[in-house]
Chains A and B, each alone.
Chain A
Amino acid sequence: QVHLVDSGGGLVKPGGSLRLSCVASGFIFSDYYMSWIRQAPGKGLEWVSCISSGSSNTYYADSVKGRFSISRDNAKNSLYLQMNSLRAEDTAVYYCARVNQWPDYFNSWGQGTLVTVSS
């Protein structure tokens, strides 16, 4: 059974940094593209970033390009999101999600981790 566990969220000041993690189990992690998707409080879903199975390709939404960096460690079945120069508008629950086949759908999601950017 596919299981994704997100962690690393918390309260950070504007301009600060945070690193999110997602640990995967129940499938061959290295076979799949992985993505981060976020949801601001009371708002809709927003795709943030995606990384290919072997890390050779990374993609970002314009809203985070140049500030966020996605990476993965297939030996540890782990996905990461390094978030720098954080802004109030980055406040959201961040979900990691498995991409069935790029650029198709997100067929498994983590439980989410809350990032709050506030002074």
Chain B
Amino acid sequence: QSALTQPPSASGSPGQSVTISCTGTSSDIGGYNYVSWYQQHPGKAPKLLIYEVSKRPSGVPDRFSGSKSVNTASLTVSGLQAEDEADYYCSSYAGSNDFVFGTGTKVTVL
């Protein structure tokens, strides 16, 4: 199973919005609503941001939102803050008891 495709980098100024895409296939993103997003700061474990395409766990600010269209999922970070500077990974169930992660996107707050 190939990794989902994300842009290597994205950036925005404080207060702006940034959207990260995550492109897969009909066998993963397009076939299931089990898309999740994770934030990882340097040297730290990943943290769940979004699950089931667009749901936020308690404690995650509503500045983070997710969506999906066909085979592409997206994460939008609104009102960028300095602490949002991190790596972001998407993930999807890929059928046959297999999971696939995205290639990762480094978000820089200018």
Contacts and interface: CB of A to CB of B under 8 A. Distances in A.
A50 B94 CA distance: 14
B45 A105 contact: no
A45 B22 CA distance: 14
Nearest to B101: A45
Contacts of B32: 103
Interface stretch (A73-81, A82-90, A107-115): A107-115
B45 A110 contact: yes
Nearest to A48: B99
Contacts of B102: 44
A7 to B, nearest CB: 14
A112 B36 CA distance: 20
Interface residues of B, number: 24
A105 B3 contact: no
Contact of A45 (B34, B38, B57): B38
A105 B103 contact: no
Given A95-B46, A112-B45, A105 B101 contact: no
B98 A59 contact: yes
Given A95-B46, A100-B51, A105-B52, A44 B57 contact: no
Interface of B: 1, 3, 32, 34, 36, 38, 45-48, 51-52, 57, 89, 91, 93, 97-104
Interface of A: 35, 37, 44-47, 50, 57, 59, 61-62, 95, 100, 103-112
Given A59-B97, A61-B1, 19 more contacts: A44-B3, A44-B89, A44-B101, A44-B104, A45-B46, A45-B89, A46-B101, A50-B99, A61-B98, A95-B45, A100-B51, A103-B32, A103-B97, A104-B52, A105-B36, A105-B51, A107-B48, A109-B45, A111-B45
